[in-house]
Amino acid sequence: MKEHSREASVAVAIVLLMLVLATLAHGYFSRENLADLFLANMPVMIIALGMTLIILTGQIDISVGSVFAICSVVTGLCARGGLPAVFGLLVACVAGAACGAVNGGFVAYLRVPSIVVTLATMVALRDTLRWKTQGSWVGNLPSNFQWFGVTQQVYTAGTLVMVVLLILLFVLGLRFLRVGRTVFATGSNETAAQIAGINTKRLVFTVFTLTGALTGLAAMLNSVRFNQIPSNSGLGLEMKVIAAVAVGGTAITGGTGTILGTVLGVGLLGSIGTALTFLNVSAYWEKAIQGGIILSAIILNALSTHHKKHANSINALPG
């Protein structure tokens, strides 16, 4: 199964980390901690699914953090306005999708480089939100806002099922849906994809919009864990998501990558912060260790694929 060799290095890293934790950190694998870990990383996981698609098509989106913040506030405003949770969810998804559609429109139809578009929207959206809210939190939410009015356990279980379903949907969709194949095709060779009759513009647009909607979903699911909503959430979220996708082996140039890899990447990066506290490592070094992990994952990935490339030296870069 050569397709999975890319994920192997991440999987090995996770297994190593788990072994260390199992021997040294008591209680890391308690149900309670795993549930907390899951909830803490759930937004990154959901957004990373969309980001994987974006990166597979050869694009990138660094505005998800700002979109996340906007959708959180929108969720809160809906709830305070008395809308039922289901509507709030819908509105958050629509708001996210709208932001994503703006990104996607510029990228797909005006062919502006995605990093420039999303850099611009990242700054503009974040500052618009700051301007409008002046940093104030959305409070006074109805009592049935938190956990959708059900118990914490039910919410956690429900979200878990939802995320697992989403992951399955993406794994199967990429494999068995026509549109799934066109994602790989577009990232692999866009001209060829167009010649093959794939509407690559619409695809790129859709992928950005979908990621926006997923960001809205993540924002909503995350917001209901609390009873008030800060207006500055999601700072630096984009870096976490992109790092997770990249660590999971998706090529930043598009064309190759798997959802499984992304799930593993989120798992590795998401568990490391807590793991360090469990291992009594000073919090001051957390960021450095995360950077180190990202780098080693990419280097490992590259080394394992370099071997393959040498067999086919015609593609090697001269110089």
Partner 1 sequence: MLIFLARPTIVVAMLVADCPLIVRSPRPVLAINSVTKSFAGVQALKGVSFELLEGEIHALIGENGAGKSTLTKIITGAVIADSGSIEILGQAISHNSPTVSRSLGVVAIYQQPSLFPHLTVAENIAIALEHDGAWLVDWQSRYAQSTRLIESLGAAIDPRRLASTLSMAEQQIVEIAKAIGANAKILLMDEPTALLTDREVENLFRVVRRLRDDGVGIIYISHRLEEILGISDRITVLRDGETIGCHKANEVDRAELIQFMVGRSIASVFPKREVPIGDVALEVRHLRNDEAGLHDISFSVRRGEIFGLAGLVGSGRTELARTLFGLTPSGSDILLSGEAVRINSAADAIRLGIGYLPEDRRQHGVILEMEVATNISMANLEAVSRGGLLDHQKERDLASFYVNDLRIKTPSIFASAGTLSGGNQQKVALARWLAIHPRIMILDEPTQGVDVGSKAEIHELIVDLAERGMAILLISSELPEVLGMSDRIGVMHAGTIAGILTREEATQTKIMSLAFGHFESEVSSV
Partner 2 sequence: MPSQVKPARRIRFSNGEWMLLFALMTEIVLFCAAAPGFFAWTNMFEVLRFSVELGLLSVALTPILITGGIDLSVGSAVGVSAVIFGMAWRDGHMPIPLAVVVALLVGCGCGALNALLIAGLRLPPLIVTLGTYSLYRGIAEGITHGAVSYTGYPKSFLVLGQGYLWRTVPVQLPIFLLVVAAYVLLLHRSVIGRALYAIGFNSEGAGYAGIPVRKRLALIYLLSGVVASLAAIIYVAHLGLAKSDLGRGYELEAITAVVLGGTSVFGGRGTLFGTLLGLFFLSVLQNGMHLLALPSELTGVLIGLLLLGIVSYDRLRAMRINAKPRIYPLSGARATRSKQVVTVLGVLLLTAFAILLPRFLRTAKTSATKSDVRVATGHRPVIAVMPKAKGDPYFISARAGAEEAARELGVDLIWDGPTSLDASQQNELVETWITRGVDAIVVAVENKGSISTVLRKARQHGIAVLTWDADAEPDARDFFLNQATPEGIANALTDEAARLLPSDGQFAIITGPLSAENQNEWIAYVRKRLAAKYPDLTLTTVQPSDDDRDKAFSQTQTILKVYPQVKLIMAISAPAVPGAAEAVQQSGRKGVDVIGLSLPAICKPYVHSGVVQTIFLWNTRNLGYLTVYAGWLYEQKRIPPGATSINAGRLGTLQMRGTEVILGTPLLINKANIDSLDF
The burial class, CB within 10 Å (0-12 / 13-18 / 19+), for 158 is middle
Among 59, 63, 182, 211, binds partner 1 (CB under 8 A): 182
Q: Which does 191 bind (CB under 5 to 8 A by kind): partner 2, partner 1, none?
A: partner 1
Per-position b or e across 160-198, b if 16+ CB within 10 A of its CB = eeebeebbeebbeebeeeeebebbbbbbbebeebeeeeb
- 13 is a contact residue toward partner 2 (CB under 8 A): no
Q: Which does 124 bind (CB under 5 to 8 A by kind): partner 2, partner 1, none?
A: partner 2
Packed helices 31-56 and 64-80: angle between N→C axes, nearest 10 degrees: 120
| Interface stretch with partner 2, choices 92-100, 105-113, 166-174, 196-204 (CB under 8 A) | 105-113
Q: Which does 168 bind (CB under 5 to 8 A by kind): partner 2, partner 1, none?
A: none
Residues whose CB is less than 8 angstroms from the CB of residue 42 and which lie 6 or more positions away in sequence, other chains included: 159, 163, 218, 221, 222
CA distance 228 to 77: 10
Among 130, 181, 201, 202, binds partner 2 (CB under 8 A): 130
- 196 is a contact residue toward partner 1 (CB under 8 A): yes
CA-wise closest residue to 65 among 119, 16, 110, 5: 119
Structure tokens at 210: 């979908």
Q: Do residues 104 and 204 touch, judged by C-beta distance below 8 A?
A: yes
| Interface stretch with partner 2, choices 2-10, 12-20, 195-203, 232-240 (CB under 8 A) | 232-240
Please say which residue, 288 or 314, places its beta carbon nearer to partner 1: 314
Question: What does the per-residue mask of binding to partner 1 show for 214-253, with x meaning CB under 8 A?
Answer: ----------------------------------------
Residue 58 CB, nearest approach to partner 1 (Å): 11
- 168 is a contact residue toward partner 1 (CB under 8 A): no
Q: Which residues bind partner 1 (CB under 8 A)?
A: 175-182, 184-185, 187-189, 191-199, 255-256, 310, 312-316, 318-319
